[in-house]
Chains A and B, each alone.
Chain A
Amino acid sequence: GAVVSQHPSRVICKSGTSVKIECRSLDFQATTMFWYRQFPKQSLMLMATSNEGSKATYEQGVEKDKFLINHASLTLSTLTVTSAHPEDSSFYICSADSNNYGYTFGSGTRLTVV
């Protein structure tokens, strides 16, 4: 089956610093990847759609300058949370469409901003 690898699984950072999260499709090419945020006991909320070689498309209410997305290759998309604050603490999850296997999700990144 299709595998999406996401790193790191957990990260703690100080308020005001930036954090980069990587999402890799291991055995397929992903023209499009998706980034979600999930607060405790809530559903997944789509933040942005990451397109290889072009600018990401952000959902309404998501600050593109705060959540920088780079999709430089067909197997890698990165999400950088810039100038992180405690309210950015959340579970961030990426996914990719693997054609034959539907939307495959990464294992998620628990971000804690202190």
Chain B
Amino acid sequence: GENVEQHPSTLSVQEGDSAVIKCTYSDSASNYFPWYKQELGKGPQLIIDIRSNVGEKKDQRIAVTLNKTAKHFSLHITETQPEDSAVYFCAASIEAGTASKLTFGTGTRLQVTL
């Protein structure tokens, strides 16, 4: 089955700096890669996703890049703010017409300091 590795496990940046989180996946058939933000005591919230027919996607301060050949994808957050502090999870799945299960990375705890 799919295996998703995520690094780093913790990340501390100063407000205004950029943060980068990296994930690798094992199953070359995976074609959908979402990123989730989870705040303490809450469920994960989708912040951005990318499909394998696209190499990069951007939404305001958040961007995701995908390298299918190397089987890795990254989350980039620019101009970080204190409210970006949370745990971020990458995930991978195979979209095949019907809902298929997500495999999650181990998570990155991001702390944005003033």
Residues on A lying within 8 angstroms of B by beta carbon are 4, 6, 31-32, 34, 42-44, 46, 49, 93, 95-97, 101-108, 110
Contacts and interface: CB of A to CB of B under 8 A. Distances in A.
Contacts of A42: 106-107
Indicate the size class of the contact surface on chain B. Answer: 20 to 34
A32 B89 CA distance: 22
21 contacts: A32-B98, A34-B99, A42-B107, A43-B105, A46-B101, A46-B103, A49-B99, A95-B43, A95-B102, A96-B99, A97-B99, A102-B46, A102-B49, A103-B46, A105-B43, A105-B44, A105-B45, A105-B46, A106-B43, A107-B43, A108-B42
Interface of B: 32, 34, 36, 41-46, 49, 89, 98-99, 101-107
